[in-house]
Amino acid sequence: MVENVLQVFQNKVTLPQTKRFLSNEEINILAERYGTPLYFIDEKTLHDKLVELHHAYKKFQGDVKIAYSVKANFNPSVLKTFMKDGITFDLTSLGELYFIKRLNGVPENIIYTSVTEELDEYIEVLKNGIRRIVVSSYYGFVNLSKAASIVNIRPKIMVRINPEVGVKAGVRASYKNGKFGVPFNGGKIDSAYFIVKSIFSNPLLDFEGFHFHLGSQITNFICYVNALERLNSLINKLKKVINNFSITTLDIGGGTPVFYNHPVPAPDEIASIYIQKLNNLVSNHGNFTLMIESGRFLVAESSILISKIVNTKEYNDHKIIILDTGYHLLLDAALLKQQYPQEAIPCKNDIYKMNIESKGNPSVKNIHLAGRLCDTLDVFPISKVSDLSCATIGNYVLFYNIGAYSLVFNMPFHCQTKPPVLMKTIDNDFKLIRKGTSYEELFIEEGGQIA
Ligand SMILES: Cc1ncc(COP(=O)(O)O)c(C=O)c1O
């Protein structure tokens, strides 16, 4: 059954899931007013993606909650949009907690997963009313126990397991002897088996369940099947040594992929591969809440980056298009060679329209989309669906599906400032949700006044 479904995905050619929520006219007016580069976020897409992801798990025999991984985009207006939908927030740092608190987020809607797991951090987290905390090491568990007795609060502890299954993904998070979580067992203190037993032997602590995160931009979903089978064995083992052992929450992490260069299955197609395994866990071990984390899927398609073509040059059969943006605004283009779909606009006359292969001018075989930075790596990989046929000086290049892991990576390399961000609101208004920064602000931030 699983193989059949995978086969269908491989054969299926879906249309590019790029979304134009802006007209050329709107782009012209707003780019004139705010300058380029310029980010746009569509509030409706944020909401629609949340509904789509939640809906994908409707065949699960229990409650389903979606947790937004704030690391993907912590813009306060994005967080507020999700807050209105009552989402859970997956937090990893005190900084992220600060943002949620400033927006009056409720602690019940937070799950906190730290990598460092320091005592002071856990004290702060508990004092802020967070109860669902994921531990990822024995030392982290000890720190959380100490914090709980200092603050006199009973946390609901989840254990982050590293299922150590093979994962095919843009970024793998689970691999043998990896950084995240603990293995199932192995006789050492840093094992899920040992940590769970330790939680049950402390009357001041509650055990909530398990968490795993396999990777981001996952391309083969059999890893969930394998991870859930391994988890089932662990639970069976724990039931033999702990009376009435059960789980209240199972969090299966993020990883739902997004269209960049290759077709990706929809969340309900993905869920269909392992929903039976999840329901088997319910039948075998009792009801639990299923938590689906997501960063990329929830925000990527909501956003477009608009940049201007400021120069071009042609030699031999190559054309170099130089933009006023660079990888300082889309770091994954350099880090992960992410092929964001691009489109050059406007195309005034279709006679001049050329596609990537022919480009109108038959002598030009290779198009390069180059950034403004003086760095060899600052050349944007081009997606198969990109249309740069109207790439002439003064036109715009739109980068689609850039809402995840882009704004949060903005950096001032080459003394570059941060561009403004506009949100197209549900009621079709445009709202400035982040001001662009100036050279003077950057100068001060870098210590210019004390130099
Ligand atoms: C623990 C955890 N959960 C969820 C995510 C989100 O992954 P994605 O953006 O692929 O959904 C991440 C990403 O790094 C993560 O580390």
- Does pLDDT of 14 surpass 50? no
196 closest CA partner among 178, 180, 175, 211: 211
Mean pLDDT of 357-372: 71
Handedness of CA 420, 92, 232, 248 (dihedral sign): negative
* DSSP one-letter code for 376: T
> In this structure, which residue's CA is closest to atom 14 in ligand 1?
216
User: Is residue 293 lining ligand 1, measured as CB closer than 6 Å?
Assistant: yes
- 156 and 129 in contact (C-beta within 8 Å)? no
The pLDDT of residue 360:
46
Which of the four pLDDT bands, split at 50, 70 and 90, describes residue 185? confident
Q: What is the rounded CA–CA span in Å between residue 325 and residue 407?
A: 13
Q: What is the rounded CA–CA span in Å between residue 265 and residue 217?
A: 11
Which of the four pLDDT bands, split at 50, 70 and 90, describes residue 199? very high
User: Is residue 90 lining ligand 1, measured as CB closer than 6 Å?
Assistant: yes
- 174 and 180 in contact (C-beta within 8 Å)? yes
Give the distance (Å) from ligand 1 centre to CA of residue 264: 17
- 259 and 299 in contact (C-beta within 8 Å)? no
Angle at alpha carbon of residue 137, lines to 131 and 142, rounded to 5°: 65
The pLDDT of residue 7:
40
Question: Per the structure block, which two tokens stand in for 208?
Answer: 């909530």
Residue 67 host element (H or E): strand 64-69
What residue type is assigned to position 19 of the chain?
K
The pLDDT of residue 359:
43
Residue in this structure with the two tokens 């197609």, named with its chain if needed: 269
Give the distance (Å) from ligand 1 centre to CA of residue 168: 15
Mean pLDDT of 62-69: 98
Residue 315 host element (H or E): strand 303-315
CA 184 to chain CA centroid, Å, is 26
Which residues lie closer than 8 Å to 144 by C-beta, 6 or more apart? Answer: 117, 122, 133, 135, 155, 157
Burial class (CB in 10 A: 0-12, 13-18, 19+), 230: middle
User: Is residue 72 lining ligand 1, measured as CB closer than 6 Å?
Assistant: yes
Handedness of CA 104, 423, 16, 35 (dihedral sign): negative
- Which tens digits make up the pLDDT trace of 327-338? 999 999 999 999
Give the distance (Å) from ligand 1 centre to CA of residue 410: 19
Ligand 1, pocket-test mutation among 69, 74, 87, most atoms within 8 A of CB: 69
Handedness of CA 407, 408, 414, 419 (dihedral sign): positive
Q: Where are the beta strands (DSSP E) in 154-267?
A: 156-160, 168-172, 206-211, 215-220, 249-251
Q: HSE on the CB side for 138, CA within 13 Å?
A: 14
- Which tens digits make up the pLDDT trace of 87-123? 999 999 999 999 999 999 999 999 999 999 999 999 9
Which of the four pLDDT bands, split at 50, 70 and 90, describes residue 349? low
The pLDDT of residue 79:
98
Q: Give, in order, the Cα–Cα distances in Å from 438 to each of 74, 156, 305, 422, 435.
A: 21, 45, 19, 17, 9
Q: Give, in order, the Cα–Cα distances in Å from 220 to each of 6, 119, 265, 365.
A: 8, 37, 10, 33
Q: What is the rounded CA–CA span in Å between residue 62 and residue 117?
A: 30
> In this structure, which residue's CA is closest to atom 16 in ligand 1?
213
- 220 and 7 in contact (C-beta within 8 Å)? no
The pLDDT of residue 364:
63
What is the signed CA dihedral for 232, 234, 240, 242, rounded to 10 degrees? Answer: -110
Mean per-residue pLDDT over the chain, rounded:
92
Q: What is the rounded CA–CA span in Å between residue 53 and residue 47?
A: 10
Ligand 1, pocket-test mutation among 71, 136, 218, most atoms within 8 A of CB: 71
231 closest CA partner among 165, 287, 179: 165
Q: What is the rounded CA–CA span in Å between residue 72 and residue 259?
A: 16
Q: Of residues 306 and 204, which shows the higher confidence score? A: 306
- 110 and 100 in contact (C-beta within 8 Å)? yes
Which of the four pLDDT bands, split at 50, 70 and 90, describes residue 165? very high
- Does pLDDT of 13 surpass 60? no
- Does pLDDT of 11 surpass 90? no
37 closest CA partner among 443, 444, 422: 422
Give pTM, 2 decimals. 0.93
Domains in the chain (CATH in brackets) are: 43-300 (3.20.20.10), 301-437 (2.40.37.10)
Which of the four pLDDT bands, split at 50, 70 and 90, describes residue 187? low
- Which tens digits make up the pLDDT trace of 249-304? 999 999 999 999 989 999 999 999 999 999 999 999 999 999 999 999 999 999 99
The pLDDT of residue 347:
84
* DSSP one-letter code for 420: P
- Which tens digits make up the pLDDT trace of 380-413? 999 999 999 999 999 999 999 999 999 999 999 9
Q: Of residues 3 and 211, which shows the higher confidence score? A: 211
Give the distance (Å) from ligand 1 centre to CA of residue 134: 14
